[in-house]
């Protein structure tokens, strides 16, 4: 059955690319606004539940329900490491560090993906990719040290311990994404992307239900918090997944991967405008170092 996710190589992909970067960049803003009243677990749970309600009918319409039924164990388990754990970790992190810093750390996903693929799948690392791993991890170390030791203006109310645990949560989330990428490549290479996306959100919804119910806020959150979780689920997850898979079809996986480097740009701008966050020159320079290392380690640079 044809539909919006069919390959359309002749169509311009730039609008999808910018929109996807803007949506995923905004996810850090909405996570902060939602978690402030719902808490991290409930925010992540509502996000994946809303995304599931949006994506499941689309998957059925595309005629993929029988594929989902045949692979439900794989795709639901995939959702735990690809959505449930990282979404909850990021929702916790943005309560203690700036959304801009969280988004820069998120840009290291290809860095960890290269390392996991090397350790698990035996993917070859040439000298450029090894250099990228070294540069990337050096940049992350310097950025974390700079943030926690010298500058606390991202969130003046956060303790040093809170910032350390938040940075660790972001890095653990990126490791989860990296493991999920290799898991998908090894065990689910032939599944339609929409099946993986829907199953991921459905599996995450199931995994987070019990923890989230125990962590629900005692008072009813306000309209802003509710609006934030709906934007997270519908725009930053449901619509974003559709855009991402369409981008892969239109521009190819290599170009689609580079959207990871665009996300911090939007997240930094949103944080400054809507949350009054501070962005220092050193934070930007170290962020660029992290992104350079990530680009090298993922094979995006250098180009022959």
Q: What is the CA radius of gyration of the chain?
A: 19
Whether 23 is covered by a domain: the verdict is: no
Confidence of residue 303 (pLDDT cuts 50, 70, 90): low
DSSP-assigned letters across all residues of the chain: ---TTS--TTS--HHHHHHHHHHHHHHHHHHHHHHHHH-HHHHHHHHHHHHHHHHHHHHHHTT-HHHHHHTHHHHHHHHIIIIIHHHHHHHHHTTTS-HHHHHHHHTTHHHHHHHHIIIII-----HHHHHHHHHHHHHHHHHHHHHHHT--TT-TTS-HHHHHHHHHHHHHHHHHHHHHHHHHHHH-TTS-HHHHHHHHHHHHHHHHHHHHHHT--SS---HHHHHHHHHHHIIIIIIHHHHHHHHHHHH-HHHHHTHHHHHHHHHHHHHHHHH-----HHHHHHHHHHHHHHHHHTT-SS--
Average pLDDT over residues 131-151: 83
Proportion of the chain above pLDDT 90, given as a percent:
67
Whether 1 is covered by a domain: the verdict is: no
Whether 15 is covered by a domain: the verdict is: no
Domain count, the chain: 1
Whether 136 is covered by a domain: the verdict is: yes
Give per-residue pLDDT as tens, 96-113: 999 999 999 999 998 999
Confidence of residue 157 (pLDDT cuts 50, 70, 90): low
Whether 263 is covered by a domain: the verdict is: yes
Give per-residue pLDDT as tens, 223-244: 999 999 999 999 999 999 889 8
Proportion of the chain above pLDDT 70, given as a percent:
92
**pLDDT (0 to 100) of residue 30:** 98
How far is C-alpha 270 from the chain's CA centre?
A: 16
CA angle 94, 255, 133 (to 5 degrees): 60
Average pLDDT over residues 210-221: 96
Whether 170 is covered by a domain: the verdict is: yes
Average pLDDT over residues 152-175: 80
Whether 302 is covered by a domain: the verdict is: no
Structural domain for 204, as ranges = 34-297
**pLDDT (0 to 100) of residue 299:** 80
**pLDDT (0 to 100) of residue 251:** 81
Whether 4 is covered by a domain: the verdict is: no
Give per-residue pLDDT as tens, 52-72: 999 999 999 999 999 999 999
* Helix, strand, coil distribution of the chain in percent, nearest 5: 80, 0, 20
């Amino acid at each position: 059955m044809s539909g919006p996710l069919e390959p359309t190589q002749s169509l311009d992909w730039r609008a999808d690319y910018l929109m996807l970067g803007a949506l995923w960049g905004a996810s850090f803003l909405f996570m902060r606004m939602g978690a402030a009243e719902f808490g991290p677990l409930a925010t992540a749970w509502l996000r994946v539940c809303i995304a599931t309600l949006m994506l499941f009918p689309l998957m059925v319409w595309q005629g993929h329900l029988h594929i989902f039924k045949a692979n439900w164990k794989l795709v639901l388990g995939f959702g735990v490491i690809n959505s449930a754990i990282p979404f909850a970790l990021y929702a916790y992190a943005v309560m203690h560090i700036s959304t801009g810093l969280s988004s820069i750390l998120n840009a290291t996903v290809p860095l960890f993906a290269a390392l996991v693929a090397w350790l698990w799948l035996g993917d070859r690392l040439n000298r450029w990719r090894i250099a990228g791993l070294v540069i990337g991890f050096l940049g992350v170390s310097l950025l974390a040290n700079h943030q926690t030791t010298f500058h606390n203006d991202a969130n003046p109310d956060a303790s040093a311990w809170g910032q350390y645990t938040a940075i660790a949560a972001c890095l653990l989330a990126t490791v989860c994404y990296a493991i999920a990428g290799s898991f998908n490549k090894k065990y689910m290479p032939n599944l339609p992307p929409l099946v993986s996306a829907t199953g991921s959100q459905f599996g995450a919804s199931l995994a987070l239900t019990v923890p989230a119910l125990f962590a629900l806020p005692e008072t009813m959150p306000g309209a802003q918090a509710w609006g934030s979780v709906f934007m997270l689920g519908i725009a930053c997850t449901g619509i974003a997944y559709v855009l991402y898979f369409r981008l892969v079809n239109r521009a190819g996986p290599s170009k689609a991967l580079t959207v990871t480097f665009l996300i911090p740009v939007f997240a930094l701008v949103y944080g400054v405008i809507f949350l009054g966050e501070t962005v220092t020159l050193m934070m930007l320079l170290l962020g660029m170092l992290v992104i350079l290392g990530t680009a090298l380690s993922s094979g995006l640079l250098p180009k022959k």
